[in-house]
Chains A and B, each alone.
Chain A
Amino acid sequence: MSANWSQSSGYPLLHGVAEPSGSNQDAPEPVIKVRNLKVAFGDKVIMDGLDLDVMRGEILGFVGGSGTGKSVLTRTILGLVRKQRGTIEVFGENVDDLEGAARRTLERRFGVMFQHGALFSALSVKQNIQVPMREYLKLSPALLDEMAMLKLEMVGLRPDAADKAPSELSGGMIKRAALARALALDPEIVFLDEPTSGLDPIGAAEFDQLIMTLKETLGLTVFMVTHDLDSLYSACDRIAALADKRVIAVGPLATMLASDHPWLKAYFGGERAQARLTADLRRS
Chain B
Amino acid sequence: MASLDTAEPQAVFHDDAGSLAIELTGSWSAERAPRIEELIAEMGERIASVSRATLDLSAIIRLDTLGAYVLNRLKNQREAAGGSVELVSRRPEHAVLLAEVNIHDCSVPPTVHHFGIVSVLVNIGEAMVRFGRDMVGGAMFLGEVVVGSVSVMFGPRKFRGPPLVNQIELIAFNGAPIIMLISFLVGCIVAQQGIFQLQQFGASAFVVNLTGILILRELGVLLTSIMIAGRSGSAFTAEIGSMKMREEIDALRVMGLDPIEVLVVPRILALIISLPILTFISSMAGLAGAALVSWLYGGIGIDTFLARLQSVITWKHFAVGLIKAPFMAFVIGLIASIEGLAVQGSAESLGRQVTASVVKAIFMVILVDGLFAMFFASIEF
Which residues of A does B touch, CB under 8 Å?
1-5, 7, 10-14, 18-19, 21, 91, 105, 108-109, 121-122, 133, 136-140, 142-143, 145-147, 149-151, 153-154, 159, 165-168, 185-186, 188, 216-219
B231 contacts partner chain A, Cβ-Cβ < 8 Å = no
B105 proximal to A (CB < 8 A): yes
Which residues of chain A are near B3, meaning CB under 8 Å? 91, 109, 188
Which of A3, A11, A133 neighbours the largest number of chain B CB atoms within 10 Å of its CB?
A3
B285 CB to closest chain A CB (Å) equals 41
Q: Do A21 and B93 touch (CB < 8 A)?
A: yes
A-B contact pairs, 25 of them (CB 8 A): A3-B90, A7-B86, A11-B103, A21-B92, A105-B4, A109-B3, A136-B30, A137-B66, A138-B33, A139-B33, A143-B33, A143-B37, A147-B66, A147-B106, A149-B108, A150-B69, A150-B106, A153-B103, A154-B65, A159-B109, A166-B346, A185-B30, A186-B30, A216-B96, A218-B97
User: Residue of A at shortest CB range from B70?
Assistant: A143
Contact A12 B87 (CB under 8 A): yes
Chain B residue total in the interface (Cβ 8 A): 49
A12→B102 contact, CB < 8 A: yes
| Cα–Cα distance between A4 and B98 once the two chains are bound (Å) | 12
A1 to chain B, nearest CB (A): 6
Q: Are B101 and A150 in touch, CB under 8 angstroms?
A: yes
Within 8 A of A (CB), among B8-52: 29-31, 33-34, 37
Contact assessment for A5 and B95 in the assembled complex, using a CB-CB cutoff below 8 Å: yes
Is B1 interfacial (CB 8 A cutoff)? yes
Q: Are A146 and B106 in contact (CB under 8 A)?
A: yes
The CA-CA distance from A136 to B66 in the complex, in Å, is 14
Q: Known pairs A5-B98, A7-B79, A150-B106; list 4 more (Cβ under 8 Å).
A: A12-B99, A138-B34, A146-B107, A150-B65
Q: Assuming A1-B56, A105-B4, A186-B64, is B30 touching A137 (CB within 8 A)?
A: yes
Residues of B within 8 A of A5 (CB): 86-88, 95, 98
* B104 engages A1 (CB within 8 Å): no
Q: How far is the CA of A217 from the CA of B93 in the complex (A)?
A: 7
CB of B258 within 8 Å of the partner chain: no
Cβ of A168 and Cβ of B345 under 8 Å apart? Answer: yes
Q: Is B344 an interface residue (CB 8 A)?
A: yes
Q: Say yes or no: B106 contacts A21, CB within 8 Å.
A: no
In contact, B90 and A19 (Cβ under 8 angstroms): yes
**B347 CB within 8 Å of chain A:** yes
| Min C-beta distance of B288 to chain A, whole Å | 47
| B88/A186 in contact, CB under 8 A | no
Query: Is B130 interfacial (CB 8 A cutoff)?
Result: no
Of A3, A153, A217, A219, which contacts B88 at CB under 8 A? A3
- Find chain A residues with CB under 8 A from B96 CB: 216-217
| Residues of the B chain whose Cβ atoms lie less than 8 Å from the Cβ of A7 | 79, 84, 86
Decide if A153 touches B346 in the complex (CB within 8 Å).
no
Q: Which residues of A contact B64 (CB under 8 A)?
A: 186
Q: Are A186 and B37 in contact (CB under 8 A)?
A: no
Do the beta carbons of A11 and B99 come within 8 Å of each other? Answer: yes
Q: Does residue B89 face the partner (Cβ distance < 8 Å to A)?
A: yes
Interface residues in B149-190 (C-beta closer than 8 Å to A): none
Q: Are A12 and B106 also in contact (CB < 8 A) when A140-B37, A147-B66 are?
A: no
Given contacts A12-B87, A91-B1, contact A145 B104 (CB under 8 A): no
What is the CA–CA distance of A140 and B344 in the complex, to the nearest angstrom? 34
Query: With A121-B346, A186-B64 known to touch, is A18 a contact of B92 (CB < 8 Å)?
Result: yes
- Interface presence of B209 (CB below 8 A): no
Query: Does B91 lie at the interface of the complex (its beta carbon under 8 Å from any beta carbon of A)?
Result: yes
- Determine if B91 and A21 form an interchain contact, defined as CB atoms under 8 angstroms apart: yes
User: In the assembled complex, how far is the CB of residue A132 from the closest CB belonging to chain B, in whole angstroms?
Assistant: 10
Interchain nearest-CB distance for A112 vs B (Å):
18
A154 and B104 form a contact (CB under 8 A) = yes
Q: In the assembled complex, which residues on chain A have CB atoms less than 8 Å from the CB atom of B95?
A: 3, 5, 12-14
- The residues of A that contact B37 with a CB separation of less than 8 Å are 139-140, 143
Q: Which residue of B66, B69, B90, B93 is within 8 Å of A219 (Cβ)?
A: B93
Shortest distance from the beta carbon of A153 to any chain B beta carbon, whole Å: 4
Q: Is B303 in contact with chain A by the CB < 8 A criterion?
A: no
B58 touching A1 by the CB < 8 A rule? yes
